[in-house]
Structure 1
Amino acid sequence: MSILSKFSFKDQAFKLRENAILDAATVVLSSKGYDLMTMDDVAGAVGISKPSLYKHFKSKDELVGEAMIRLLDGAIEQVDALSQQLSAREKLEALLEWALRVRLGGGLPFLPSTSPHVRDMLMRNFKYMTRVLKLNRMLEQLVKQGQKDGQLDASLPTDVILFSYYARTCDPAVEYLQKFSKMSDDDIVKHMIKVAFSGLR
C-alpha cells in the first residue's frame, strides 16, 4: 500500500468517525437538550473515548455548532434538489415534509429556540450564520413567489408567513402526536402540512 493510499484511508476513517459523532450528538441533543448533554454522552454513544472525541471537536459548543451546520446543509440540499416543475408552495410543502420526517426520527433538535446560550453561541458562528442567511433567502424567495402566484395570502407580510413556516418545523404538537396519538408518522406529517398550509377552517 502506498503512503498516499494510507493517508487517504486514514482521512476516510477520520471523516466516517466524525459523521458518527455528529449523528450521535444530534440524537443526544434531541433527547436531552444542550444543557444536559455532555461530551461523555456523545463519546459513549459513538463507542469512543473522550480524548478521541476531542481530536475531532475541541469543545461542546464546536460540536453543537457543526451538528447544526450539517442540518442546515441538509435543508439547503433539499431545496436545491427539488424539481423545477414544482410550484413555490409545493416546494415549501416538500421541505416542511422533509423537516418533519427528520424530526420524527430524532434528528432535528431545535436548539436556538430553546436555549439563549446556544442561540448566542450560534450567532457568533460564521459558518452557521452563513447557512442560516442562505436558507432564509431561498425560503423568502419561495414565499414571495407563492404570494405572487396566489398560492399564499398576499395580504400577509412575507415575514409573517416565513416565520410562521419556521415555527411549524418546531411545533411541539409533533412530539405530542408521536407520543400520545395512535397515528403513524406518515399521517402526522400529512396532517401537520395540511394545518400549516390550509389552517383549521
Structure 2
Amino acid sequence: MKIKMIIFNICFVILEIALYSRGLVNLLASPVPAVIVGIASIGAFIGVNYYLLNDTGTKKALRMERLKTLSDYQEALDNWSGRSNPLYKEIREAQHQLELFQQKETALKALLGEEAQDGNPFIEVSHEVNECLLGNMKKIVTRMSISDFSDNSQIPANSRFLKQVTEQNKQILAQYDNLIIEISQIGSHADTENLENITNALRQLRDSNANVNLSDF
C-alpha cells in the first residue's frame, strides 16, 4: 500500500510541475478555469491518498483469504518482523519454526525415497503436522491483524498468546524430530511401537492445539 501511495504522489508531482512549468494552465481563457483546475488537482490528491490509506483493511482481509501454504504465512509474517514491532522476537521465532519444519519435511522425504508419496503413513502424519502448523500460524496472523500496536496495554497479552502458540509448535517439531529419527533407523533397530507412540503424540498435540481459542488470552 505504501508503494502505491509513493508512486501516485511522485506521478502527481511530476504532472503538476509539467502542467504549470509549461504554462498550460495560463492558456485557459480566464483565471476561473485555472482556479478550478487547481482545486480539482488538490481534490484528486487528497481523495486518492485517502482511498489508499483506508483500503488497507480490505487488502489485508483479501490477503488472509489467500494464505494457503507455509510459504504464504512466512511472507505474511514479514509484515511484523521488523524491530519496530514490540513482538518481533515472537514473530521471528514463528518464522524460524516454519523454516525448521520445511527442512525436516525435506529430510523425511529424503529418508523415505520413492516411498515418499501420498498414502504412505509417515507422509500422512507429515501432512497432519503441516496442517497443525498452518492452523497455528493462522492464529498468529489473525492476532497480529486485529492488534492495535499503539496501545501498549495490549502488548503483554499478545506476547503471552504468541509464546503459547510457538511453544506448541516447539512440541510438535520435537515429536516430528523423534519420528524422523525412528524412521532413519528402519532396517536396523527401529522400534515400531515407538513410531506408533510418536505418531499418536503428534495427533494429540494437533487435537489439543485446535482447542486453543483467541479469547483465552
TM norm. shorter chain > 0.5? no
TM-score normalised by structure 2 residue count: 0.24
TM-score normalised by structure 1 residue count: 0.26
Higher helix share: 2
